Structure formats: C-alpha cells, structure tokens
Amino acid sequence: MIGQKALRLAMLAAGTAGGLSGAAYGLLNGQSRYARRVIGPPANMPLRADGVHLPDGTGPVPRSELAAGVKPLELVVLGDSAAAGLGVNFPDELPGVRIARGLAEELERPVSLRTHAIVGTTSQELHAQVDLVLADPPRLALVIIGANDVTSRLSVPVCAELLGKEVTRLTEAGVAVVVGTCPDLGAIRPIPQPLRSIARSWSLALGRAQRRVVEANGGHAVPLADLLAPEFLARPNEYFSPDRFHPSGAGYEAVTRILLPAMCAAIGEWEGGPLPAAPTRSEAAEARRPTSRVVARLNRALHRRSQD
C-alpha cells in the first residue's frame, strides 16, 4: 500500500532525477519513515455493494426484482483503493455506489455495478482486472489509478503506456471508458515537506501523462488533481478519512461529483451543461513546477544551514 511504502520509491526517483545531496536524501528518508508511521496500514478492507441500483436511490437489489424487459446499464469500476472506496464507513458512501445511483437517476434506468478495484493496484497490475471485465464487457467502465504508481519503480511514461494499453483493450470491446487520473499527493498532510512537494510534482506529472494517453486511445480523462486538490487542501478534516490518506465519505462525494458528468457524457447522455474543466496552464503553473526545482531549493537550503 502507499501508506506502507510512504513514498520512499517516489523519493528515490526524485533524488535520481534531481541530484539530491547526501544530506537532502537523509532528510527525505527520515520524512518518509515519519509519514509511514503516521499513515500506517489500512485498518480494514473496502466495503462492497455491487448489484443493481435503482433511479430512486435504492439498491443493490437482485435482478429478479426488475420488471420484465428492463435491462440495467452495466457499469464496472477498476483500479486501486480510491476506486474501491477504502476509507468510507457505509456502503452508500462508496464511489461506485454513488456513481451507479447518480447514473440511474440521470438515465432513469437501473444500473448494475461490478467492482473489480483492488487496494494497492498499480498500472502494471490493471491488466488482470481488465481481463475479468472483457469476459463480459459492460457498457461503461470507470478507472481510478495512479497513486500507487507514484510509489512504484515504474517511470511516468511506462505507467502511462500501460494504462493506455488497457484503455485500448476496453474501447475496442465497445466499452466507454472514463479514467480519474492520479490525484495530487501533495494534498496529503502527513507527508512532510519537502517530501510532499516531490510527491506532488511526481503525481501531477503522472496525471498529465495519463490524460494524454487516455484521450489518445479513445477514453475520457478526468484530471482529479487539477479539479479536486484545492478542495482537499482547504477541508482536510472533512475530506480525508481517519487515516488522513484515503478520502472520507465526503471526499468521495466530491470525487464522484466531478466524475459523474464525464460518465454520462461518455455514453452520450449528459445534458447538464459544460463538463468540469481543468485549470489553464497559467493557473496551474505554480502547482506544476518540476521536481528538479524542488530538489534544487532543498539542497540550497541545506547548504545555507550548514554554513550557519
């Protein structure tokens, strides 16, 4: 899990790219241990509420309860702990359930939810989930992936390429695909500075690469970092679960509020106005400074401290 690894591999990658001094690397290593201790392992596994969800907000119900001739929209959820809904206290708060019920209300028809997301999944492991889906392709798939990639040994281009291949497999099977790209790990307060800045730069770079490959391969990308980081930064006590790493029920509500219009649009069923748009380049410039600049500033600060 990310909490267990505490971003030490992201730190290592950033150090390799930016040329960390020994003192800087030692500082980040200590911060990594601190973050790992504070976040800790997951207290439990995600809840499940797969099945048919109805336009009136109820569910899941057995298919046998549907009226004759009523066929639900088939929805699958793939990815990591954020897709699985780790951190919520009640099934109604699961992101898959919120999406399924939102779709059912918008489309005025039942939605059948299947969740294949697994805690700790990286883009390298997404292939197995897609294999399960392609045995019985749905109409619509939601993928949330990327946070664990930040702690993996895979490069940003490799992670993006792997995701692009899975999006292609799904779209070629007739599945409409929406991908929630890598969240901004800089919003996670237990990760101290400057490690948090490095994690932020790494996750933003991955999110941008994911967006390019998803759209190039026929999917619909929703830049979660761009659209949600300000809310999570402003309301951490409300939007994070007690582990201060995974979203709470309110946090997942914010996530699905952003995702739902894109899900409807992916199947040609959105009539609610413009879709949420990412900030312009100038608006996001400060959040997207290269990791190498963060590392350079850190080294300069440590050098000044050593001269005092």
CA pair distance 281, 230, nearest whole angstrom: 16
Q: Which residues contact 29 (CB under 8 A, 6 or more apart)?
A: 8, 11
Q: For residue 228, count other CB atoms closer than 10 A to its CB.
A: 23
Q: Is the peptide bond before 60 cis (omega within 30 degrees of 0)?
A: yes
Structure token digits, residue 51: 């099945």
Q: Write phi, then psi, for 261 (nearest 5 degrees).
A: -60, -40
- Collapsing DSSP to helix, strand or coil, 175 comes out as coil
Q: Which residues are marked as active site?
A: 81, 243, 246
The whole-angstrom distance between residue 233's C-alpha and the CA centroid of its chain comes to: 16
For the residues of 60-95, what is the DSSP string, one character each?
-B-GGGSPTT--PEEEEEEESHHHHTTT-SSGGG-H
- The answer to whether 295 touches 19, Cβ cutoff 8 Å, is yes
- The answer to whether 246 touches 87, Cβ cutoff 8 Å, is yes
CA pair distance 141, 132, nearest whole angstrom: 12
Structure token digits, residue 100: 């399924």
